[in-house]
Amino acid sequence: MWQKIQTVIEAIYPPRCLGCGDLVTSDFGLCGTCWRDTPFIGGTVCESCGVPLIGATDGHRIECDDCMAHPRPWTDGRSALLYSGRARRIILALKHGDRPELARPAGLWMARAAKPILCDRMLIAPVPLHWTRLARRRYNQSALLAQSVGRETGLPVCPDLLVRSVATPMLEGMTAAQRDELLTGAIGAHPRRRHRMTGQNVLLVDDVMTSGATFAACAQACLDAGANQVFVLALARVLRDT
């Protein structure tokens, strides 16, 4: 009976490509063209933020220029995509285009990218939104991504582990120093959830990493609350022009 119902649903609403809307063979997939045009990260990467690097691994820790110039308060990090082209359009649709269903395939991509840094009993938490922005947007895209990563990895998720007590403006276009200044004291542990971090490894999830200022503020809040180690996972990493 269920298979018949599924067949009827698929006949009425056939699977569409997340990127262009063309017909595909399964739900939440990309067509061949969109898959080729989506900048997935692979190969040698920065161990702090996951941005792709030239060359092969040599058994020593490898970091990008940004992470060497600005030491991170977290231990390791990964990103699934470069924030450009089709990936940027997918993220903007998730974030501002009322497309929460995009978090499902994105969580799969992120879980694959995070595999080298995952460990047992790790607690997943999203980067928080201030309640005023959450009310306008109706959902926190980072929380949707965190839930999707949790489903893919089997790790527990605490959607309100952290709270953003200050309504900071949009950080786009600001320098790293300006971002750091705005975020100082803006994010902290939820008073009723901080006990969950004591001695635990925490995986922070966000949609985009630019300078790393938001992740840094969240990571420091976790460490101040007693977390053992903090790791970060972004759907996409902004690649600085060189």
Residue 199: predicted pLDDT: 95
The verdict on pTM exceeding 0.95 is no
Ordered structural domains, the chain, with CATH: 1-37 (no CATH), 74-237 (3.40.50)
Residue 14: predicted pLDDT: 58
Pairing mode of beta strands 123-126, 162-164 = unpaired
Element (H, E) at 221: helix 213-224
Residue 214: predicted pLDDT: 93
- Which of 102, 152, 125, 160 lies closest to 231, judged by CA? 125
Residue 180: predicted pLDDT: 76
pLDDT tens by residue, the chain, 242 residues: 445 444 444 444 556 766 666 565 555 566 666 767 788 998 999 999 999 998 777 778 999 998 998 899 999 999 999 999 889 999 999 988 888 989 999 999 999 999 999 998 899 999 999 988 888 888 999 999 999 999 999 999 999 999 998 877 677 777 777 877 778 788 999 999 999 999 999 999 999 999 899 999 999 999 999 999 999 999 999 987 54
DSSP assignment letter at 16? B
* Signed CA dihedral, 214, 208, 173, 161: sign only: negative
**Beta bridge pairs of residue 82:** 237
Residue 241: predicted pLDDT: 58
Concatenated DSSP letters of 26-58:
STT---HHHHHHS-B--SSB-TTT--B-SS---
- Which of 91, 86, 85, 67 lies closest to 77, judged by CA? 67
Length of the chain: 242
> What amino acid occupies position 163?
V
Q: How many CB atoms lie within 10 A of CB 116?
A: 10
- Which of 121, 129, 114 lies closest to 228, judged by CA? 121
Distances (CA, A) of 185 to 131, 181, 208, 226: 16, 9, 21, 17
Residue 24: predicted pLDDT: 54
Residue 125: predicted pLDDT: 98
- What CA–CA distance (Å, rounded) separates 137 from 108? 23
